[in-house]
C-alpha cells in the first residue's frame, strides 16, 4: 500500500487528473470517461481549425454527441467545484490539496483517500456522501434529474451572434 498523504504535489496533481478522466465507457470506473474527454478535445481542435464538423479517423462525430460530451464535462466540473467549495467552507482545518483530492475521489467514485475522510465533520461527511452519489449516478443523469425539461419546441428562433473569448 501507498500512503497517499506522503506523495509529492506534482504526483498529486497527476493522480487528480487521472481520477477526473476515469475509465472507459462500459466499465465500472468513474470519472468523466476517456471517450468523453477525447470528444471534447476533438471538438476544441475542430473549432481551432475553423471546421464545422468534428472528425476523427475519417468519420464525423454527430453534433449531439459533441454537445453531450461537453455537457457531461461541464456538469462534472460544476459538481466538483461546488462540492470542493462547500468542503473548504465547512472544513477550514484541513489542507487545500487534501480536500481537493477527497472531493475528486468522491465525485469520480475512485475510493481512495488521503486519510482525512474519517476526520471530517458530520456536514463534511454528508457532502462527500452526496458527491459519491452524484458521481455514481453520473453527471448528466444528475443534471437531468434536477433540471426542468420542457416539451418539444414548435418554433425556431433566429440565430444570434455572441462575442466569446
Is the residue at 121 inside a domain?
yes
Is residue 32 in some structural domain?
yes
- Give the pLDDT confidence score for residue 149 in this predicted structure: 66
27 within a domain of the structure (yes/no) = yes
Q: Is residue 20 part of a domain?
A: yes
Does residue 11 belong to any structural domain of this protein? Answer: yes
Mean pLDDT of the chain: 89
Band (29; pLDDT cuts 50, 70, 90)? confident
Q: Is residue 159 part of a domain?
A: no
**Number of domains observed in the structure of the chain:** 1
- Which pLDDT score, from 0 to 100, does residue 139 have? 74
Q: Has residue 148 got a pLDDT over 70?
A: no
Q: Is the pLDDT of residue 58 over 80?
A: yes
The pTM for the full model equals 0.85
Q: Is residue 75 part of a domain?
A: yes
Confidence of residue 66 (pLDDT cuts 50, 70, 90): very high
Q: Is residue 147 part of a domain?
A: no
- Determine the pLDDT at residue 141: 77
Residue-range definition of the domain harbouring residue 63? 4-141
Residue 49, C-alpha cell as written in the block = 481549425
Amino acid at each position: 500500500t501507498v500512503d497517499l498523504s506522503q506523495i509529492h504535489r506534482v504526483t498529486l496533481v497527476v493522480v487528480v487528473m487521472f481520477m477526473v478522466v476515469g475509465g472507459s465507457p462500459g466499465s465500472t470506473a468513474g470519472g468523466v470517461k476517456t471517450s468523453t474527454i477525447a470528444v471534447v478535445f476533438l471538438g476544441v481542435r475542430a473549432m481551432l481549425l475553423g471546421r464545422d464538423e468534428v472528425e476523427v479517423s475519417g468519420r464525423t462525430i454527430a453534433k449531439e454527441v459533441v454537445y453531450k460530451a461537453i455537457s457531461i464535462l461541464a456538469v462534472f466540473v460544476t459538481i466538483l467545484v461546488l462540492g470542493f467549495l462547500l468542503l473548504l467552507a465547512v472544513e477550514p482545518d484541513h489542507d487545500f490539496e487534501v480536500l481537493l483530492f477527497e472531493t475528486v475521489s468522491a465525485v469520480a467514485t475512485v475510493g481512495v483517500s488521503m486519510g482525512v475522510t474519517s476526520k471530517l465533520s458530520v456536514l463534511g461527511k454528508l457532502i462527500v456522501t452526496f458527491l459519491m452519489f452524484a458521481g455514481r449516478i453520473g453527471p448528466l443523469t444528475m443534471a437531468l434529474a434536477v433540471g426542468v425539461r420542457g416539451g418539444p419546441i414548435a418554433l425556431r428562433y433566429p440565430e444570434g451572434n455572441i462575442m466569446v473569448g
